[in-house]
Amino acid sequence: MNVIATEKLPIKCWLPLKEIEQPEDYVLTPRYKVDIEDEALQQAKNLANLPFAFKHVALMPDCHSGYGMPIGGVLATKGVVIPNAVGVDIGCGMCAVETSLKAQDINETILKSIIELVRERIPVGFNHHKTAQIGIPYFGLMHCNSQNSIVLRELTSAEKQLGTLGGGNHFIEVQADEEDNVWVMIHSGSRNLGKKVADHYNKVAKEINARWYSSVDPKWDLAFLPIETQEAKCYMEEMHYCVDFALANRLHMMNAVKDIFMQVIGCEFGEVINIAHNYAAWENHFGENVIVHRKGAIRARKGEIGIVPGSMGTSSYIVRGLGSTQSFNSCSHGAGRKMSRTAAKKSLTVEGETAKMEGIVHGLKNVSDLDEAPGAYKDIVDVMKLQEDLVEPIVKLRPLAVVKG
């Protein structure tokens, strides 16, 4: 862990160091600084200088710039909740399940059959189901009683989005562990429902902050809701509803994938592991009750099981939390981007990236697909090394086949 000083609170980083360039005649020991992009560093400094930020800001090793708050950031606050410190894909997260199959049981033909059926039955991108999915199990997990609820207004549309993958870095993967046991892993969130809730309450927060002449610079995009207000209470309720919706979404897709496996080859399944990485929750840290915002970070209490995925061409990990107080019991939510989507499309090649995925069934074919190519992401091995004091890997998984959003 490295520390960056600010005017108010320190920023604690699980990020690598890089050597500072110095003049040729500089003969002292080389100097280093934390390896973080300028925009993400400025966003972290903004967080650290918030009047209600608590103790310090924590940056995970997959950290990169986001909207308002860096992805891979953890912020604890006293008395306020910040919609942009959760983000627009509320409740986005991972689930994984082990099957009774071995890698040698599923050859390339079987994998392609599974992936083809996944694409037929699970809408990706902006697509959704033609009929409402309200009748599925798990829908009863969700609840919302907010007055003037965004969730209730969007529910008819959301019912058709349940069980859909979405776009960007969301994926469904067939994987194998080091003992050749086959796993299924899914990464997805609350779809358009979470975005609607996030956008609405961020707008409300901006209006409240402007009305009461908040000292927080509006250019930081960190408008907040005082927790005693009705608006904050509604946001917390609807935010947690979206976390439940995202879980139900992943479980619905997992059930569809299980049905496909049973149709193609037949097998048994273990218990589903689930973890979210975009949410805010009341927790006790350093003896005080605070609201912990995790934006692209997962909770990693001592003994808690989590999931840290790599890119579509690299390993993913099932991990066990070590309960680090300095990270607010958190760790990275994945490998983390090392270049923007635009930069990836300009600098990477289809030939070069497909060569990295030899032996994996995938859909990377065009320049437009390069934004999610392996080369756009940090090295997951390096990321795991940097957070050895936060989590321990208990299962290492390699990709066999992947569907991207």
Residue in the block written with tokens 């209490």: 301
CB 310 within 8 A of CB 377: yes
Ramachandran assignment for 132, one of left (phi > 0), alpha (psi -120 to 50 degrees), beta (any other): beta
User: Phi and psi dihedrals of 61, rounded to 5?
Assistant: -70, -10
Q: What is the DSSP letter of 314?
A: S
Sign of the C-alpha dihedral computed for residues 132, 134, 139 and 142 taken in this order: positive
Distance CA 222, CA 206 (A): 9
Distance CA 364, CA 348 (A): 12
**Which residue among 240, 277, 333, 362 is the active-site one?**
333
In 93-236, the DSSP E strands lie at 93-102, 171-177, 181-188, 225-226
Per the DSSP assignment, residues forming a β-bridge with 71 are: 64
Per the DSSP assignment, residues forming a β-bridge with 186 are: 95, 172
333 is catalytic: yes
Distance CA 80, CA 285 (A): 16
Sign of the C-alpha dihedral computed for residues 124, 185, 138 and 274 taken in this order: negative
Distance CA 317, CA 320 (A): 10
Residue in the block written with tokens 């697909």: 369
Instruction: Give burial (CB, 10 Å; 0-12/13-18/19+) of 312.
Output: buried
Active-site residues, by number, are 333
